Structure 1
Amino acid sequence: MADDESNAGSIWPLPKFRFSVDFGTELTNIGFQEVSGMDKEVQVIEYRASNNPLFSTIKMPGIVKHGNVTMKRGIFVGDMTFWNWINQIKMNTIARRTVIIRLLDENNQVTMQWTLSNAWPTKITSTDLKSEGNEVAVDSIEIAYESLQITNPHHV
């Protein structure tokens, strides 16, 4: 029924402006301006058996590939969190973390959740500086990760 309140939230797409990011440890629930790049791609393997009478290939799923996630946030006085994290990188050594990104509803309840496993920073871009500007100073961090798990607590 159209008037049924239990289905009221399921007929509208979710807004994307209310979200939280949890890095664990001292980085819990940092406010971000933007998060992008949460993607998963399955590479295609083209194969043709030697005894196949057709002169064409079949396509099979191959290795799963994840892009890097980019996050942008305002700069705060004395906050060196991301710079400290990336400065921990030594040859083939980095403090990997689980990063959880949550899409929230108007009551701060989780509607979707993306979990990035074994995440680590690959790039930090500091703000640009403009003497005539009036924008907030924004840092950008790019994070590599090994797997992406998406959950929806309302999925039946």
Structure 2
Amino acid sequence: MADSGKTQDQVVSAARFYLQFANLAPLAFSELGGITSKVGSQEYIYNDFQGNTIHTKQYGKTDPPIVTLKRALDADGNAKLLGWHALARVGDPKGRGDGTLTVLDASGSQSIVYTLHNAWCSELTVTSMRAGDNQVAMIEIRITCEEIKVPPPA
């Protein structure tokens, strides 16, 4: 691919992640496990007017976007996240909402803000722990949403 003459924008070196929703106090996370969004493909086969068999690929089933975040297990964060997940488990409308995921670089300046539309905590996992172990226990959540928006670059 030929060089277009444009320089690459500054890449993001993420250091901190903040999640903020109206029904959930802001929480900091140490790890963004990923953001996934998927559109499957569907094969469509037909015959044209000359009798030739034509194979094409069409858009298929879409899977909702999923955001995976991890943080150290603490009493306050654990209570907030378990409470949010509990709302989703019982189908409470307060369990869904719009919020933001902010990615900050090491200097603390804002790098990227993802807007999560109609999101809920669809999965919650507390890592395994062993008595006497000195490893930090982690809590991992998966947030499912209807749409993720990112503002256009300035």
- Whether the TM-score (by the shorter chain) exceeds 0.5 is yes
**Distance change >3 Å, CA 49–CA 142, structure 1 → 2:** same
Deviation at 1:21, TM superposition (A): 2.0
Secondary structure, aligned partner of 2:124: strand
The residue type equivalent to 1:15 in the other structure is S
* Structure 1 equivalent of residue 85 of structure 2: 86
Give unmatched runs, 5+ long, in structure 1.
1-6
Secondary structure, aligned partner of 2:81: helix
Question: What is the TM-score when the length of structure 2 is the normalising length?
Answer: 0.75
Further displaced range: 31-40 or 89-98: 89-98
1:41 aligns with 2:22: no
Deviation at 1:118, TM superposition (A): 1.1
How many residue pairs are counted as aligned between the two chains?
146
Q: Higher strand proportion, which one?
A: 2
Question: What is the TM-score when the length of structure 1 is the normalising length?
Answer: 0.74
Give unmatched runs, 5+ long, in structure 2.
1-5
What is the distance in 2 between the residues matched to 1:57 and 1:41?
Answer: 22
What is the distance in 1 between the residues matched to 2:8 and 2:55?
Answer: 45
Give the conservation status (yes or no) of the 8 Å contact 2:40–2:60. Answer: yes
Aligned pairs for 1:107-126 (under 5 A) are: 107-126=107-126
C-alpha RMSD of the superposition: 2.8
The residue type equivalent to 1:57 in the other structure is H
Deviation at 1:96, TM superposition (A): 0.1
Give the conservation status (yes or no) of the 8 Å contact 1:119–1:145. Answer: yes
What is the distance in 1 between the residues matched to 2:8 and 2:104?
Answer: 13
Q: Percent identity?
A: 22
Deviation at 1:26, TM superposition (A): 3.7
1:99 aligns with 2:96: no
* Structure 1 equivalent of residue 128 of structure 2: 128
